[in-house]
């Protein structure tokens, strides 16, 4: 199976629901989720930071994806995870924005890959 397809499905069925659950639940988010978000944010920061260095050295045009995760996604998750129920509304709103953006971006990518597959037959 195509790696891009798996990545898109992972984001659509795991990442988006997680982000929207936390964003819409806000202060009612289950307490155990905050440490999960903190660790997840740290993992994303380290993983995408490493990938950004690799892509930068390779001159990849896909570097922006890793930088987006390092500069925006990871810090938002770590901030919410660290502050827990004291997180202010704008950060939940930003997480909702990230969730809906991920949904749209990955559905769009699936549509493009489907059209490319159809065009080659």
pLDDT tens, 16-44? 999 999 999 998 999 999 999 999 999 99
Model confidence, pTM: 0.91
88-111 residue pLDDT tens:
999 999 999 999 999 999 999 999
- Cα–Cα distance measured from residue 82 to residue 85, given in angstroms and rounded to the nearest whole number: 9
Rounded Cα gap, residues 13 and 40, in angstroms: 16
Give residue 113's pLDDT.
83
Q: Check: CB of residue 94 under 8 Å from CB of residue 76.
A: yes
């Amino acid at each position: 199976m195509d790696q891009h397809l798996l990545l898109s499905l992972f984001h659509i069925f795991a990442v988006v629901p997680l982000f929207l659950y936390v964003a819409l639940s806000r202060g009612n988010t289950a307490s155990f989720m905050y440490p999960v978000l903190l660790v997840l944010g740290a993992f994303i920061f380290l993983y995408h930071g490493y990938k950004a260095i690799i892509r930068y050295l390779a001159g990849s045009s896909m570097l922006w994806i890793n930088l987006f995760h390092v500069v925006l996604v990871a810090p938002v998750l770590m901030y919410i995870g660290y502050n827990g129920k004291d997180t202010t509304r704008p950060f939940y709103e930003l997480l909702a924005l990230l969730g809906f953006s991920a949904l749209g971006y990955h559905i769009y990518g699936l549509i493009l890959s489907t059209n490319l597959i159809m065009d080659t037959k």
